[in-house]
Amino acid sequence: MAVAASSSVLAPRARVVVAATGKGGAGKTTSVACLAVYWARRGLKVCLIDADPNQTLARWHARGDVLREIPLTAEYDADALLPAIEDYAARCDVVVVDCAGFTSQSMLFAVGAADMVLIPAMTDEANLFEAARTQKLVRNASALTRRAIESRVLLCRVKRCAVAQHARQELQKLGLVVLDAQLNDRVAFQEASFFGTAPSVLQPKGAASGDIDLVGKELDALLWSQGKGN
């Protein structure tokens, strides 16, 4: 049974979560879709923005099932992205933005509006390099907006614990903060994309669902911790 959460208690104002990385195939859209379902099943009003011209999230969303119940706007125009975020933020508890898998003006704008930037990364050198580049973009956006913007790396498609541990150490050396939870390489994530759903619906007691719950709970503590009120 899903844990209901009153939005008046848990989310006194909308939180904007932006998934960003300049590396395609890092697990960005999977993370967005699964977290959106996680928050929706907790009783929060979630809104999605697909800012990726490849429209991966929009196609996932259009296949139906539980993800389609979450409002989605596809917005690929950089100038229209901030108004779209502001519009959703006025009527949702959580706005989740899926950026394109390359650095762009849209990504900079989205990051500048974020409460949390999620940087998905696989555990190879190219992904770690791109995560570091994305973190620099977060720092630049923070300087431009003159406010602190939180960011966390989310390790995705993890196959081996030893490699993941090494990746964590390398990212920490580069000054990045990595979530303790991670999304492991599981078939359920691939299956979910074909049905417009998430592993937490397909296999509620499965390992992939457990991965999502751990990531979601860790982000909950960061997004709605003490000091993040109205």
Residue 13 lies in a domain: no
Q: Does residue 87 lie in a domain region?
A: yes
Domain membership of residue 161 (yes or no) is yes
Q: Is residue 172, in this structure, part of any structural domain at all?
A: yes
Residue ranges, the chain, pLDDT below 50: 1-12, 226-230
In a domain, residue 123? The reply is: yes
> Does residue 104 belong to any structural domain of this protein?
yes
217-221 contacts at long range (C-beta below 8 A, 24 or more positions apart): 217/181, 218/179, 218/180, 218/181, 219/17, 219/35, 219/116, 219/118, 219/152, 219/179, 220/10
CA atoms 115, 134, 49, 2: torsion sign: negative
C-alpha torsion angle, residues 163, 52, 151, 121 (rounded to 10): 0
Count of domains observed in the chain: 1
Residue 3's pLDDT is 38
pLDDT given for residue 113 in this prediction: 96
Q: What is the C-alpha separation between 217 and 220, in angstroms, rounded?
A: 5
CATH code of 115's domain = 3.40.50.300
Q: What does the angle CA 49 – CA 42 – CA 24 come to, to the nearest 5 degrees?
A: 35
Measure Cα distances from 25 to 21, 118, 223 in Å.
10, 15, 26
- Give a yes or no: residue 80 inside a domain: yes
Instruction: Assess contact for 66 and 17: CB atoms under 8 A.
Output: no
Range of the domain at 118: 19-218
Residue 9 lies in a domain: no
